[in-house]
Chain A
């Protein structure tokens, strides 16, 4: 059993023996010297639990891959729910905790959200706190920013992430830059969230991946959730953050089911998630492609490979520590993303890895992204624009031969 010791005094991960989808320990939040708020625990390399300076969580949380039943005796019962319900739970807990947290977006109120993330919240909190806006993305995003500057903590929902292209002016100029241009006087603690990614034949305009467009905006953070567990944790972290955070959800992942802890937990916005530890190759992915990667991993394991799969989760900034440690171990990197090839997250990640870990690479970084093609409506064509598990298997075989 290998132990990966990550960082000075912060965390350690215990890896399980052989099977990639058996119980795994979830890496806790990292501790910043001056930071006190997040729920976290520290797992030492000899397996002893040690709580950090914040004494909140004393339990071991195991994180099964979405559909697998979790049978660890150390787990508290928890409750099972779907990803969109996990988002709602996180949102509701934060709204309960802080009266300044409000939601703005199209159909978030009476309709309950086009993907039901805000279902029943308007009944509970009222029409002003869960605000149904007219169809004016640029203006209601700007309005949320103005509200954030004057003390509220709004969450802006884009009914589809693609619609936020209309709000690019406000997101880039005001959301990202206003804290800086005001000399630090105003903070913009907004969360911008919504479903994006390629769905099932939704057509080109509803299948966009905006993470590549937004990544250059200075001053914002971007995270992508992929499981109910990290969806809730990231939602809560994003709401509590003083920075503007864009939370990317995926249209096809809303109905994923998982058992999540009953007790409150908040994840770290800047950390990546170790999905499957391995030895031969590092596969970096996020959002829906995580599932394609895990599917490919099944095949790869049968063929005798041992891939290490990391869900990077934080698209901006990258968690260079988790990624770096993995690269130093395996010396080979494959990036699998749904973003476009040109200027996507994978492109930035490739550059970052080459810059920081060049000496540790035995082979060039390979990046599998979607084709630079407007997503076609036809099912067959759509399938070919996105990375499929077979391609992942081939790429790993080529990298590892």
Chain B
């Protein structure tokens, strides 16, 4: 075993010029800041300032490590009909469909919640679809994702069927977690969705562990071709939490194949990011731990996708983690119980105008990649999928009593030995669910 893991990894220098080693396609992460003149519908990368007196946000650091300007420089895939575009038609349709699925599903959730079909805390993802689609559609099935309580769309993008997610939300036994998890705990072993966590920051170490397994399999178990990557999604509020920093350190230290994706939607329930954070530019925290930090417009799925490609490939090549800050916005309140009174209507309008779905649609239509009719067909198809998911969830059975004790332990001998000398799990009351544990 080499001592590689114990070498101190030097943090990347902050103020270097164009001497960085470049990947064949030109490095995504440039130390320079150039104003983009992109042909994309979404606007610039400048960190938005919602309050005029937020001098904090105005602070510019000379140590700009990475801003994604790659759009101009990166060579697009060869595309015979549309040589200058970043996506092919098939890719465009895939992205569109995924985002429409996310949006329709969440809208349906809101309806179902107000009709009393689901309860508790439900956090909807409307407006942030570009991040989920932009990243997750680049993954293989074996790659893992970890999310927070705002996890419905991450699960859908990763491939968990809409009916399984809807059933889970209805608390039915056909749900992806047998109804035992709920809105905030979406898990899927088949699709490598490692949760769904209610406490913020809690999932980041779990994601780090999944990345550790990937490295372990390659280096200890000698599965040389194991290049599985893990994505950890979390918000701006989480970036002030210890687990975030501890995991940035460990991931960079051991060069784990992980991408930390910050969905900075500026609000943690009612706490503005600017009121909670001493230095609100989250991407800058990456270089402090020795990994690239990138800021990208999270309302533009194509930009997110380009950044994601590079970050994921970096991880696959074994070069270590990346911190990607996606500037995004949630159109709805924090949860369905949130009256959402604190946010400025003009801020909401500003981002509503940058709806990622409208933006992608406009891009594809203007560049003659697809026709309006094809997009309409997708929307109709998704409507049917979501309707079907609701029907499926409606007719699915509620969990029976016998399900109560089944999954407490993987090995049910953990319930112990009863007074009669037999393992308590052998008691028929256990399978019935009526035993007291």
Contact = CB atoms under 8 A, between A and B. Distances in A.
A362 B196 CA distance: 51
B208 A139 contact: yes
A321 B421 CA distance: 5
B249 A243 contact: no
Contact of B250 (A143, A186, A270): A143
B407 interface: yes
Contacts of A125: 1
Interface in A352-401: 356-357
B292 interface: no
A185 B209 contact: no
Given A150-B144, A179-B410, A243-B409, A7 B250 contact: no
Interface stretch (B50-58, B216-224, B296-304): B216-224
A304 interface: no
Which residue of A134, A179, A185, A219 has the most chain B CB atoms within 10 A of its CB atom? Answer: A185
Contact of A321 (B176, B180, B185, B418): B418
Contacts of B250: 133-134, 136, 139-140, 143
Contacts of B213: 146-147, 150-152
B212 A184 contact: no
Given A182-B181, A321-B418, A218 B408 contact: yes
B99 interface: no
A314 B416 contact: yes
Given A99-B220, A270-B416, A144 B421 contact: no
B210 interface: yes
Given A102-B216, A126-B1, A174-B202, A182 B411 contact: no
Contacts of A318: 416
A111 to B, nearest CB: 12
B431 interface: no
B209 A143 contact: yes
A324 interface: yes
A30 interface: yes
Interface in A221-274: 221, 241-243, 269-271
B403 to A, nearest CB: 9
Contacts of B221: 99-100
A319 B417 contact: yes
A186 B426 CA distance: 23
Interface residues of B, number: 70
A150 B209 contact: yes
A178 B413 contact: no
Interface in A78-132: 99-100, 102, 110, 125-129, 132
B418 A145 contact: no
A241 B411 CA distance: 7
A32 interface: yes
Nearest to A184: B407
B181 A181 contact: yes
Contacts of A10: 421
Interface stretch (B21-29, B88-96, B240-248, B324-332): B240-248
A189 interface: yes
A149 interface: yes
B187 interface: yes
A138 interface: yes
A181 B406 CA distance: 11
A128 B220 contact: yes
A80 B418 CA distance: 35
Nearest to B168: A183
A146 B206 contact: yes
B181 A32 contact: no
Contacts, number: 219
A181 B209 contact: no
Contacts of B210: 146-147, 149-150
A173 B413 CA distance: 21
Interface residues of A, number: 72
Given A142-B202, A150-B210, A357-B419, A180 B1 contact: no
Interface centre among B1, B209, B247, B408 (most CB of A within 10 A): B209
B120 to A, nearest CB: 13
Given A134-B253, A181-B185, A147 B212 contact: yes
A369 to B, nearest CB: 22
A181 B177 contact: yes
A379 to B, nearest CB: 36
A67 to B, nearest CB: 30
B223 to A, nearest CB: 11
B185 A182 contact: yes
Interface centre among B6, B176, B420, B421 (most CB of A within 10 A): B421
B242 A138 contact: yes
A142 B180 contact: no
Contacts of B179: 183
Nearest to B228: A150
A180 B423 CA distance: 20
Nearest to A6: B421
Nearest to B243: A139
B195 interface: yes
Contact of A128 (B5, B410, B416): B5
A187 B187 CA distance: 12
Nearest to A30: B417
Interface string A338-352: 000000000000000
Given A33-B426, A146-B194, A134 B144 contact: no
A8 interface: yes
B408 A128 contact: no
Q: Which of B179, B187, B417 has the most CB of A within 10 A?
A: B417
B410 A243 contact: yes
A169 B407 CA distance: 20
Nearest to A8: B421
A321 B419 CA distance: 4
B102 interface: no
Contacts of B104: none
A178 B253 CA distance: 27
B414 to A, nearest CB: 5
Contacts of A185: 177, 187-189
A142 B206 contact: yes
14 contacts: A6-B421, A127-B1, A139-B242, A146-B211, A178-B195, A181-B187, A181-B196, A183-B180, A185-B188, A243-B409, A316-B416, A317-B415, A317-B416, A320-B417
Q: Which 9 A-B pairs have the closest CB atoms?
A: A146-B209, A142-B205, A317-B416, A7-B421, A126-B1, A183-B178, A183-B177, A182-B187, A146-B206
Given A127-B5, A182-B181, 12 more contacts: A8-B421, A32-B426, A102-B216, A136-B246, A141-B205, A142-B243, A150-B214, A152-B213, A173-B202, A183-B407, A243-B414, A270-B413
Interface of B: 1, 3, 5-6, 144, 146, 175-182, 185, 187-189, 194-199, 202, 204-217, 219-221, 242-243, 246-247, 249-250, 253-254, 406-411, 413-424, 426, 437
